[in-house]
Amino acid sequence: MSLKIALCAFVFCGLSQYVDGQSKNPTNDLPGYHLVWSDEFNKDGHPDTANWSFETGFKRNHELQWYQQDNAFCKGGLCIIEAKRVHLPNPNYVAGSTDWRTNREFIDYTSTSMNTHKKHNWQYGRFIMRARIDIDAGLWPAFWTLGEHKPWPSSGEVDIMEYYRGKLLANVIFGTNRQYKAVYNSSAKPVVDFGAEWSKAFHVWEMDWDETGIRLYVDGLLLKDAKMQDIINQDGSNFNPFMQEHYILLDLALGGDNGGDPTPTQFPRTFAIDYVRVYQKNHP
């Protein structure tokens, strides 16, 4: 059986909002690879803090959600990141502030952003997530990586799964000679191309990352193939941010610069993760 067929075989339809996790045997190494890390989310409660750190507050992209740990929980073999509509005082509010993080008097939405920074990182490998995403207006779920060294975007960013405004995206992002100005090596595919029931099912996202480049897939379909020589920071340093360790992030953002308007969406909305696994190549 080919790897792509095997990956497609992992995909199951989610028949309810919270579906028990499946394909829960990570000891089965992939051909030519061995498992180096995984989280199967098998223990009910908050996600394991030995694996994950949690952001707090308003963080980036002028997004609408206040991030907090309480919006993520494990149940039935899944990690659920839940976005909620709320009306709470912003503890960092400063009247007259010009900073978008502090000039909002109220918190209108809460969600979770969790990452493996300073706990687990890897250089090269096969990163796999099985998950189900809601695709309602204003939602912006993501499974991504950031490099451990240099500020963004010179750190390098890979969006293995990103969704907003009706599009599924696969992005490899790196730096220019201007601070905070990025190059986006990206592809996008309308979710309507996958069929009307696509968002009700669980799907498998994969990054294959090695010395030659980065390839991004959903359910075995190649979305992005970025060659290593084409994703070097354009600042004269010749630094390739994808030849260093990266860590994993999972989040469910709302609104902001790209996410759209969540006002018509009914809440809560969820990002349900069955597992996240990292494999690396066997060496002779």
67 vs 145, 206, 245, CA distance in Å? 18, 26, 25
What's the confidence (pLDDT) of residue 27? 60
Q: Sorting pLDDT into bands at 50, 70 and 90, what band is 237?
A: very high
Can you give the pLDDT at residue 223? 98
pLDDT at 17 over 70: no
Identify whether the C-beta of residue 214 lies closer than 8 Å to the C-beta of residue 242. yes
pLDDT of residue 29: 77
- In tens, the pLDDT along 115-161 reads 999 999 999 999 999 999 999 999 999 999 999 999 999 999 999 99
Over residues 85-108, the pLDDT tens digits come to: 999 999 999 999 999 999 999 999
Mean pLDDT (whole number) for 28-48: 93
Read off the pLDDT of each residue in 249-257 and give the average, rounded to a whole number.
98
Q: Does residue 19 carry a pLDDT above 90? A: no
State whether CATH 2.60.120.200 applies to domain 3-11+34-281.
yes
